């Protein structure tokens, strides 16, 4: 079972490598560019950046990166905290360069911070455990939300002196943010607003790999699974960087050539390709992917998909009784969320079906969801690598941040209409 989950993850990584190419493509990239950290990438593009760290209440080290100022030296604006997707790190926000979302946000006058959740490439330390200990990996996106995200918010607010900040989530970081506000509603008072892109919360209409996986799982599979395991970049024997080394000839050289065998996997995992993808950017991203995650994170998603509910982790009847006082895990209380929320999602996403985002919005209190932004033909990772994201997605993101900062969104208690782009 664990091997199957690892296969699904590497398949999703291979999927990303398909890009929008229908023939091999030669890239011109230097080795130095492949291994730069978030801070180095920011400095490459002319921004001051720094690294921050703290230990959580349960002893995990969490790394934050901070863009100190815009290029013209502007600093001290409303803080914006961005999280990353599963098996990723905050480098996903930095690799795109000056036209990437975090640098555009900084140029808009915001104070930009990015968080790396426990188990990702940057956040691999613990006061008493190491990554070879199974106990280190005993967490899901529940802990990413109620602990990592919560304490990252506190850290940023303490560092900046602000009483509130804005959150931007993508994929799993959207899940973590929803979990936090549902489980610890006091954090609604610390979040001015949130923009959640392709929120992986409900899975009532699975397609692609999600539907395929659910058709092969059952309760026995979960009972036999040891979820105290990890998903890391070097887990394929003999391959230091399995995704690019599998998808490219001459990986790591300026003459790397993308192989077309990754194409079909992409359609299967992330959704059918409709938008052109920046192959140079993709090649950089894949050298940092997968950036680490726990098997338990994936299992928690599979449980949600299998049950059709958004609930706490299911440990089985006996353990559930000990932890929750009931046979099945309780649902997350979405009505606890009071923070103004913007959902951005794609019609071609095979992971997050647009119908489920609409259902999620309907389950939240009237007036909380300010925008349902459906992007035509976008799949799960087009937000990061589509060549037109800086024209299709990022202007809307900046507009939503300004609306949150200025409080200029609708105050009416109504369900928003779906806006398509």
Contact 130, 76 (CB under 8 A): no
User: What pLDDT shows up at residue 72?
Assistant: 87
Contact 272, 348 (CB under 8 A): yes
> Phi and psi of 26, rounded to 5°?
-90, 135
Contact 359, 408 (CB under 8 A): no
Buried-state track 253-274, b at ≥16 Cβ within 10 A, e below 16:
eeebebbeebbebbbbbbbebe
Is pLDDT above 80 for 376? yes
Contact 371, 399 (CB under 8 A): no
Bridge partners of residue 374, in order along the sequence: 345, 420
Q: Calculate mean pLDDT across residues 306-328.
A: 95
- d(CA 389, CA 274) in angstroms, rounded, equals 13
Is pLDDT above 60 for 255? no
Is pLDDT above 90 for 412? no
Residues 6+ apart with CB under 8 A from 133: none
Q: Sorting pLDDT into bands at 50, 70 and 90, what band is 11?
A: very low
Q: How many domains does the chain fold into?
A: 1
| DSSP one-letter string for 207-235 | -HHHHHHHTT--HHHHHH-----EE-TT-
Q: Sorting pLDDT into bands at 50, 70 and 90, what band is 57?
A: very high
Q: Sorting pLDDT into bands at 50, 70 and 90, what band is 417?
A: confident
Strands 257-258 and 191-197: unpaired
Beta strands in 206-309 (DSSP E): 230-231, 248-249, 257-258, 293-294
Respond yes or no: is residue 380 known to be catalytic: yes
The model's pLDDT over 266-287, given as tens digits with 9 standing for 90+, comes to: 555 544 555 556 666 666 666 6
Instruction: Output the six-digit token pair for 5.
Output: 């989950």
Q: Sorting pLDDT into bands at 50, 70 and 90, what band is 293?
A: confident
Report the CATH number at residue 89.
3.40.50.1820
Contact 304, 178 (CB under 8 A): no
The model's pLDDT over 114-145, given as tens digits with 9 standing for 90+, comes to: 999 999 889 999 999 999 898 999 999 999 99
User: What pLDDT shows up at residue 321?
Assistant: 98
Q: Calculate mean pLDDT across residues 18-37.
A: 48
User: What pLDDT shows up at residue 275?
Assistant: 54
User: What pLDDT shows up at residue 257?
Assistant: 53
Instruction: Output the six-digit token pair for 286.
Output: 């894949």
- Residue 224 CB coordination number (10 Å): 9
Catalytic residue among 349, 356, 373, 382: 349
Q: The domain containing residue 393 runs over which residues?
A: 2-420
Catalytic residue among 65, 170, 380, 382: 380
Give the HSE-up count for residue 187: Cα atoms under 13 Å, Cβ half-sphere: 25
User: What pLDDT shows up at residue 402?
Assistant: 98
User: What pLDDT shows up at residue 27?
Assistant: 41
- d(CA 381, CA 282) in angstroms, rounded, equals 10
| Percent of the chain topping pLDDT 70 | 71
Q: Sorting pLDDT into bands at 50, 70 and 90, what band is 411?
A: confident
- d(CA 296, CA 230) in angstroms, rounded, equals 8
* Report for 25-29, 214-218, 303-307: range of highest mean pLDDT: 303-307
- d(CA 112, CA 49) in angstroms, rounded, equals 10
Least Cα distance to 386 among 402, 375, 371, 372 occurs for 375
Q: Calculate mean pLDDT across residues 331-338.
A: 98
The length of the chain is 421
Catalytic residue among 140, 171, 294, 304: 171
User: What pLDDT shows up at residue 236?
Assistant: 45
Contact 48, 69 (CB under 8 A): yes
Is pLDDT above 50 for 62? yes
Is pLDDT above 90 for 362? yes
Higher-scoring residue by pLDDT: 290, 5: 290
Contact 98, 45 (CB under 8 A): yes
Instruction: Output the six-digit token pair for 343.
Output: 């959902």
Is pLDDT above 70 for 232? no
The model's pLDDT over 183-202, given as tens digits with 9 standing for 90+, comes to: 999 999 999 999 999 999 99
Strands 111-116 and 257-258: unpaired
User: What pLDDT shows up at residue 246?
Assistant: 60
Q: Calculate mean pLDDT across residues 324-336.
A: 98
How high is the mean pLDDT of the chain? 82
CA 168 to chain centre: 10
User: What pLDDT shows up at residue 404?
Assistant: 98
The model's pLDDT over 220-229, given as tens digits with 9 standing for 90+, comes to: 455 555 555 5
Is pLDDT above 60 for 219? no
């Amino acid at each position: 079972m664990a091997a199957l989950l690892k296969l699904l993850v590497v398949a999703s990584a291979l999927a990303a490598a398909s890009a929008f190419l229908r023939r091999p493509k030669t890239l011109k990239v230097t080795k130095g560019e492949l291994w730069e950290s978030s801070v180095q990438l920011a400095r490459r593009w002319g921004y001051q950046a720094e690294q921050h760290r703290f230990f959580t209440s349960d002893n995990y080290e969490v790394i934050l990166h901070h863009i100190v100022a815009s290029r013209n030296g502007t600093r001290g604006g409303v803080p914006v905290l961005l999280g990353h997707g599963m098996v990723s790190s905050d480098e996903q926000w930095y690799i795109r360069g000056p036209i990437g979302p975090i640098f555009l946000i900084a140029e808009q006058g915001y104070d930009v911070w990015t968080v790396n959740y426990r188990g990702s490439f940057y956040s691999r330390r613990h006061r008493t455990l190491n990554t070879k200990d199974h106990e280190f990996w005993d967490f899901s996106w529940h802990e990413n939300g109620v602990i990592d995200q919560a304490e990252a918010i506190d850290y940023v607010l303490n560092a900046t002196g602000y009483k509130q900040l804005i959150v931007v989530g993508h994929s799993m970081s959207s899940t973590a943010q929803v979990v936090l506000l549902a489980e610890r509603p006091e954090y609604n008072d610390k979040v001015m607003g949130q923009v959640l892109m392709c929120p992986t919360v409900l899975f009532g209409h699975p397609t692609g790999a999600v539907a395929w996986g659910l058709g092969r799982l059952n309760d026995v599979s979960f009972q036999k699974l040891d979820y105290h395991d990890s998903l890391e970049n070097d887990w394929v024997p003999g391959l230091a960087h399995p995704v690019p080394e599998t998808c490219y000839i001459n990986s790591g050289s300026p003459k790397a050539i993308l192989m077309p065998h990754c194409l079909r996997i992409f359609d299967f995992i992330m959704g059918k390709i409709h938008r052109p993808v920046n192959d140079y950017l993709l090649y950089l991203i894949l050298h940092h992917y997968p950036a680490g995650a726990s098997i338990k994170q994936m299992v928690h998603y599979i449980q949600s998909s299998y049950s059709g509910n958004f609930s706490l982790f299911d440990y089985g009847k006996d353990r559930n009784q000990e932890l929750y006082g009931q046979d099945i895990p309780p649902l997350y209380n979405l009505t606890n969320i009071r923070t103004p929320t913007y959902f951005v999602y794609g019609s071609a996403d095979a992971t997050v079906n647009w119908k489920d985002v609409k259902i999620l919005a309907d389950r939240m209190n009237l007036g909380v969801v300010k925008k349902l932004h459906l992007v035509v033909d976008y799949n799960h990772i087009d937000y990061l690598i589509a060549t037109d994201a800086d024209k299709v997605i990022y202007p809307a993101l900046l507009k939503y941040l300004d609306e949150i900062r200025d409080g200029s969104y609708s105050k009416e208690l109504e369900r928003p209409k779906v806006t398509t782009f």
